[in-house]
């Protein structure tokens, strides 16, 4: 039993008969995946950029007191990036 995509088959692209069935199947599979992805994206809830920006600004303002880059750490012990104290063994 010969596989359809086997080299030397009657529909091999090397024989000048066009695209092999495997390439056609591969292209068809790619197109189906693209259509599937587009259908998923079409079902997503969308919002205008201006509304998204306003939501993002509000979120940042509401949470800025928790942002360590803005307010720093409450104590040096809370800072995970502090220099570790050295311990010497005698």
Is the pLDDT at 88 greater than 80, yes or no?
A: no
As a whole number of angstroms, the distance between CA 53 and CA 61 comes to 12
Residue-wise pLDDT for 9-50, tens only, equals 444 445 555 667 677 778 999 999 999 999 999 999 999 999
Q: What is the pLDDT of residue 85?
A: 72
Is the pLDDT at 58 greater than 50, yes or no?
A: yes
Q: What is the pLDDT of residue 69?
A: 79
Pinpoint the alpha helices (H) of the chain. 21-42, 49-63, 68-71
């Amino acid at each position: 039993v010969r596989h359809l995509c086997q080299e030397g088959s009657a529909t091999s692209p090397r024989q000048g008969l066009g695209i092999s069935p495997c390439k056609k199947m591969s292209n068809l599979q790619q197109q189906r995946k693209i259509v599937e992805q587009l259908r998923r994206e079409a079902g997503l809830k969308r919002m205008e950029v201006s509304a998204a920006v306003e939501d993002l600004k509000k979120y940042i303002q509401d949470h800025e007191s928790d942002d360590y880059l803005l307010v720093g750490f409450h104590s040096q012990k809370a800072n995970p990036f502090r220099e570790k104290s050295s311990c010497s063994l005698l």
